[in-house]
Amino acid sequence: MYGIAAIQQANGWAMAGAGAGIVLIGLGVLSFLISMIPRLTGFFEEKAQPPVEPEAKESRPKAIIPEKMPEDIDAASTIYVSLTKELGESFTLIDLHRKSKELGIPHPHLSINRFRDAGILVSAGEGRFTWKSKSE
């Protein structure tokens, strides 16, 4: 006997179904166990380390940021210039973006792009930027 008749005679369809079911169940159990690894390691790390008290945040005054940025690019740039005073003469765009996100300035990517296009924010080399002075 050959072909499909032989498969039916030897219960081949049932064995194929059982084999596929066993493989799928095994993969499901394996994926569940793998997903539990971060929880287990976190559980053991918490027991090994003493609890850390949260540090008190700096109580510095929050800059006054308007809900809508001014349409005038020079007025908008003064807000960003005041943000970067703490960063120094030159700064990276990542620092500028992080600072603007901390203060909740809406759409910092768009504003920074406008400043670069207008020549207000100029490259200082090596990934650092500076503000173009008003006298230039």
pLDDT tens digit string along 106-128? 778 888 888 888 888 888 888 88
- pLDDT, residue 74, reads 81
Spatial CB neighbours of 108, under 8 Å, sequence gap ≥ 6? 96, 97, 100, 101
How far is Cα 96 from Cα 61, in angstroms, rounded to an integer?
18
Give the C-alpha distances (Å, rounded to integers) separating 136 from 71, 82, 100: 22, 19, 26
- pLDDT, residue 63, reads 56
- pLDDT, residue 33, reads 95
| Residue 91 backbone phi and psi in degrees, to 5 | -155, 165
Whether the full predicted model's pTM is greater than 0.75, yes or no, is: no
How far is Cα 91 from Cα 15, in angstroms, rounded to an integer?
67
- pLDDT, residue 32, reads 96
Chunked into runs of 10 residues, the chain (136 residues) has average pLDDT values of 88 94 98 92 71 61 63 81 82 86 81 87 86 67
- pLDDT, residue 119, reads 87
